[in-house]
Amino acid sequence: MYVSPYWFVIAGVFIVIYARDLSGTLTGDVRYMVAAAFVVLLYASVLVHELGHGLVARAFGLPVRRIVLYPLVGGTEMDSEPPTPGQSFLVSATGPCLNLALGVASWQLSELVAGGTIPSIVLRQVMFANYFVGAFNFLPGLPLDGGQMLRAVIWKLTRRPATATIAAAWVGRILAIALLVVIPLRMGGAYGGGNLVSIAWVAAISAFIWIGASQAIRATRFRARLPELQARRLARKAISVPASTPLAEAVRQADEARARAVVVVDNDSKPIAILSEAAVTATPPQRRPWIEVGTLARTVEPDLVLPADLSGMALLDAVRKAPASEYLLVEPSGQVYGVLAARDLEGVFSGV
């Protein structure tokens, strides 16, 4: 389990705010102790919520990496998503259902103690908090659990998980806007009135939902583009020239061969460097006859030589391991296939 350092900061803020709210019923240090107890129990409820997700996921054989607690929310990180809409629905529904169950349990316990006492006050607050967290998470928009459940239903109906994700994420965006507009109006009629602290919390929650929904849309579009990520399809045709070749001559040969890349080779025709496209562009035409390509080329290090058959995430991982502007693509035999430009990779994901 991972707890964000900011969790402690926000927990402290919650304790101070709640202690002030208790000033009418409790005095002295007692109200701070009660506030601290409430905050601890509230975050314990969030932890139980996430443990519910994790336990159901483990029951389905899904690997759970860790549970994280952030200032306002928690998260259960899994190495893979549920493979069926039914499993996805059950994993998502478990968390808020547990919150509602905790709310009922807190209410029943509060009935067993005398009203107005400290245990009664804390249990009542925990009850309301769990009811709120459970009901809030049932709202049908990503990234909330209700959004995951809606996604599972649409997935089941359409048999298209990507379509389901986009639809549930857009519902989440609409929900974020609705919360930001409707609740403040109900609280004060305008942003200039009402409880500004409460309005700030609503704005934070709306921003959380909007950002989470937007991330889901981008991630889905990203995965949809992965099949296009093939080194062979993106490769630029390359010519080979010695390091002493004038830049103007190398450019002429490339144009004549309709190639978009230049590979520098040694006396044994072994590739040793790749001519930088950026360096060529930055060199004025009148200087190109007097500059050798070897001075503008980047040495081909082992990490910059990639198999031409790489595709998808394997290709992305190889590029992320060794960031560069150009990579040399080779056949299994070692023969040069072409050059892969980083800008061409980025073009696949433009607009995502």
pLDDT tens profile 326-343: 999 999 998 999 999 999
d(CA 144, CA 257): 55
Residue 71 pLDDT level (bands cut at 50, 70, 90): low
Q: What fold does the segment set 231-348 form as a domain?
A: CBS-domain (3.10.580)
What are the tokens at 64? 């759970």
Q: Which amino acid is at 326?
A: E
Task: Check pLDDT > 60 for residue 192.
Answer: no
Q: What is the CA radius of gyration of the chain?
A: 29
d(CA 259, CA 330): 16
| E strand map for 23-88 | 64-69, 74-78
- The helix or strand, by DSSP H or E, that contains position 326, with its residue range, turns out to be strand 326-330
Can you name the residues that pair with 238 across neighbouring β-strands?
261
- The helix or strand, by DSSP H or E, that contains position 273, with its residue range, turns out to be strand 271-275
Backbone φ and ψ of 11, nearest 5°: -60, -40
Task: Rank 5-9, 67-71, 306-310 by mean pLDDT and report only the highest.
Answer: 306-310
Domain boundaries, the chain: 2-227, 231-348
What are the tokens at 156? 């089941």
Residue 187 pLDDT level (bands cut at 50, 70, 90): low
What's the whole-number mean pLDDT along residues 126-154?
Answer: 93
d(CA 204, CA 166): 23
Residue 190 pLDDT level (bands cut at 50, 70, 90): very low
Alpha carbon 85 to chain centroid distance?
Answer: 21
Give which of 266, 277, 268, 267 is closest to 238, Cα–Cα: 277
Give the model's pLDDT for residue 5.
76
